[in-house]
């Protein structure tokens, strides 16, 4: 299975700054078998970065941070995943900021997952508990509800086309009081996710679904997370905006794979 290193730039960098940053990455990284490098810039930067990548698309793939679940229609201000076909390979769905800042529900997210799948774009489904939910022992219930709530519109064969990202809300950079998640705690949640997938879809499908970790990942802790059994990569926020840090994490992933 591939290892995925995904940089979520969130609402940062202008189009020009995004272009300069991408050029830095292109100069410093080399394609590595089994390692997928993905960046998710602001939506306004996707098209110019796609043109800039040109033949270098084997080095870096593009991801959209958000989209509307309808393929077309009178939805002023929205961008559909259909409009993104041929431009992006991945789409983030259900990031905690979409859930808690913009109020997206599992009903919204199951429609987005289905839309991405039918448009041949790989959804990166984010799930994770808040600090209060964790303190009250509700982690397993939250992960189960968010996982299957978002997968309920697709069949078992299509579940294999989804990437799951475990992002505990309490550990995400930029969240008030964010903490660094201990590898043992991450391992426990990854195991919960794998077991839930196995229970519903069977062992074969559960083993084929890539599961990433995200939450205050940086060059100092990335290696510890990448070596957790069942973790197939990282979804990175703040550190993906610093080219040296992002490249360091990519190099770590290469060494671990080898």
Enumerate the active-site residues.
95, 167
d(CA 253, CA 235): 13
Residue 123, both tokens? 């959804």
SS3 169: helix
Exposure string of 139-178, with b = 16+ CB inside 10 Å and e = fewer, is: beebbbebbbbbbebbeeebbebbbbbbbbbbbbbebeeb
Residue 154, both tokens? 């697709």
Residue 105, both tokens? 């529900």
Quick one: DSSP state of residue 171?
Answer: G
Q: By the 8 A CB rule, do 249 and 5 touch?
A: yes
User: What residues contact 184, with CB distance under 8 A and at least 6 apart?
Assistant: none
């Amino acid at each position: 299975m591939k290892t995925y290193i995904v940089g979520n730039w969130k609402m940062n960098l202008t189009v020009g700054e995004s272009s300069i940053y991408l050029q830095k990455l292109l100069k410093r990284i080399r394609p590595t078998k089994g390692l997928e490098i993905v960046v998710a810039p602001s939506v306004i930067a996707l098209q110019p970065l796609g043109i800039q990548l040109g033949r270098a698309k084997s080095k870096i793939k593009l991801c959209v941070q958000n989209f509307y679940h309808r393929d077309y229609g009178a939805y002023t201000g929205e961008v559909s995943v259909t409009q993104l076909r041929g431009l992006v390979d991945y789409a983030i769905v259900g990031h905690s900021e979409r859930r808690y800042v913009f109020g997206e529900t599992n009903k919204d997210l199951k429609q987005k997952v289905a839309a991405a799948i039918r448009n041949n774009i790989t959804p990166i489904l984010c799930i994770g508990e808040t600090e209060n939910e964790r303190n009250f022992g509700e982690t397993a219930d939250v992960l189960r509800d968010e996982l299957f709530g978002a997968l309920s519109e697709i069949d078992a064969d299509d579940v294999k086309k989804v990437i799951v990202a475990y992002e505990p809300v309490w550990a995400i950079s930029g969240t008030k009081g964010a903490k660094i998640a201990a590898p043992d705690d991450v391992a426990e949640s990854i195991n919960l996710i794998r077991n839930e997938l196995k229970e519903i879809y069977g062992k074969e499908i559960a083993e084929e679904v890539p599961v990433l970790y995200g939450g205050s990942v940086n060059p100092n802790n990335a290696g510890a997370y990448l070596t957790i059994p069942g973790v197939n990569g990282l979804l990175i926020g703040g550190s993906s905006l610093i080219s040296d840090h992002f490249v360091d994490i990519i190099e770590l992933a290469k060494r671990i794979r080898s």
